[in-house]
Structure 1
Amino acid sequence: MSTAVEEEKVWKQLFRTVEDIRLYHGRTTPFSPPARATMTQMRVMGYLIGTLSGSVKVKDIARELGITSGGVSQIVDTLVKSGKVERCRDSSDRRSVCISLSREGRRLQAQIDASFTALFRKLLRSVPEEKLQVFYEVLGAMSHALEDAKQNGEKN
């Protein structure tokens, strides 16, 4: 695929598919309303899950997600009140506060993981193993390219 038209087809199909998955998951997931979280709250929780230490500073979340520190603080306040995350003191800087998933947040994440695993099992059951492997490799290549662009400070 070397033409701009083909690349445009790919990204448009990817975006449509991701949106379809998000909408389907939202309609069919049996979570009770208090367990639900907004997409922005899920992004914050997802960032926490993706960190090796499991806890991060508000400014790090803001920088990574492109949200102001004040905006992240408001989101974190809501997540703390709902019991999904907790604040803790940074052991290397007592003035600094870190955010981490609470027990309830980890439980919710496990529930979401199981739900998406079941959904993808259903969506991909008729796709041959070889094509799944190629799909996985393409996603990995895209992730690496994005990480390289981020490290190099590249913009679109």
Structure 2
Amino acid sequence: MRRDNRDARQDEYEDNVVSIKRVTKVVKGGKNMRFTALVVVGDKAGHVGAGLGKAAEIPEAIRKGREAAVKAMVSVALDENHSISHDMIGKHTGASVLLKKAPEGTGIIAGGPARSVCELAGIQNIRTKSLGSSNKQNVVLATIDALSKLKSPEEVAKLRGKSVEEVLA
């Protein structure tokens, strides 16, 4: 059996199953049970994504969630001490997540869903606060939204037509 490039690329990423929910649909003949799995995937080097997989069995739902997460990956701008370059708020539906830059040695100060996203993105020093909804799926997507909106000092300097030193001052 020949493996294509996508399968080889998926093996590079670590994944973390944030939640598994049992969903029941009532039909004429009884109840249909299915599962949804929220999976976060990252390479611990500035790339992270999240996906939702739905299937009749848990392993299949996790596999589908992993595939969806790899397709939805974003790049994260990290600074020299493995933190984010500036503070940012990410929003998704009712959930907001505040990400704050932290100095070396702080570690990851974050709640469950936001923590798994930060760890798999390769961030080692960050402070987060989940605001609004505590729904795991919305918190994960709000965190990814905030990380995707981050800009490096080089990008900001280029946009403003200044040098990096002038932007950081």
Please confirm whether the aligned pair reaches a TM-score higher than 0.5, indicating the same fold.
Answer: no
- Which has more helix, going by share of residues? 1
- Which has more strand, going by share of residues? 2
1 or 2 for the larger relative contact order (CA 8 Å, sep ≥6)?
2
TM-score (norm 1): 0.23
